[in-house]
Chains A and B, each alone.
With several copies, the nearest count.
Chain A
Amino acid sequence: MTLSILYFGMIAEGVGQSFETWQMPEPLTAGQLKAQLLEKYPVLRDRKFQLAVNHQLADEALPIPPQAEIALLPPFAGG
């Protein structure tokens, strides 16, 4: 499965990019994906963010569908 991963605001600043694709050999949950992201980008350990899967906030148990659009969202600042 191929995941699109989007980074926003201070998260994009931390990882140095706003978009990439990941090839995942087997199904995984949002929590497992988050662990892999923290491993690849240790800078994320110090930053608050939420994970959205296909435009919905996801809790850790959510299975990631194939071709999902993943977004790492820092704290909101609208208004």
Chain B
Amino acid sequence: MSSKTPKKVFVEGPISPAFISDSIAKHQSKTNIGAHAIFLGQIRADQKEEGVVTGIDYSAYPEMAEGVFHQIREAAFEKFELSCMHIYHSLGLVPVGEISLFVFVSSPHRRPTFEALEYIVEEIKAKVPIFGKELLGDSGAFAWKENS
């Protein structure tokens, strides 16, 4: 573990397309970068028994989650030749069609960006204590989401 302080990952509510383009624009002065890869998780209107998903209400164990995000960052920088890495995840309500996860990796070359993107997303899904309550229809019903 390095001594770097954990970076802020959680944002309240959905992640906007404008936030994403701002992040991209901030990397245009980094002229050693040749390739960026981005992953976005978007809320799907899945049909469940009790109704259609209208949004997910995210919560987390933030003190532990920040630590796990930090470990994932450190491991990814160790494994792949990356210039930059940014991870953002929503807390609170994210309506259907909106974005709840934004992973952004940059490198001089394309290959490390593909490998790092997939690694980071899979690690987040498997290891970070984030919980999701799927809101169903408009009856007040809900179901707890579980990553596969």
User: Chain A: residues with CB nearer than 8 A to chain B?
Assistant: 6, 8-10, 52, 55-56, 71, 73-79
Contacts and interface: CB of A to CB of B under 8 A. Distances in A.
A74 B41 contact: no
Given A8-B129, A9-B144, A52-B129, A78 B89 contact: yes
Given A9-B131, A52-B64, A75-B144, 14 more contacts: A9-B132, A9-B144, A52-B61, A73-B61, A75-B146, A76-B146, A77-B56, A77-B58, A78-B89, A78-B125, A78-B147, A79-B110, A79-B121, A79-B125
Given A52-B64, A52-B129, A55-B64, A78 B101 contact: yes
B38 interface: no
A15 to B, nearest CB: 14
Name which of A6, A56, A73, A77 has the most chain B CB atoms within 10 A of its CB. Answer: A77
Interface string B50-80: 0000001011110110010000000000000
A79 B124 contact: yes
Contact of A74 (B63, B100, B127, B131): B131
Interface in B78-93: 89
A16 to B, nearest CB: 16
The 3 closest A-B pairs by CB, nearest first: A9-B131, A77-B132, A78-B130
11 contacts: A8-B59, A8-B61, A8-B129, A9-B59, A52-B129, A56-B64, A77-B58, A77-B145, A78-B58, A79-B125, A79-B147
Contacts, number: 68
Contacts of B110: 79
Nearest to B123: A78
A34 B146 CA distance: 22
B146 A55 contact: no
A41 B61 CA distance: 21
Contacts of B67: 55
A74 B144 contact: yes
Nearest to B90: A78
Interface in B104-134: 110, 121, 124-133
B144 A76 contact: no
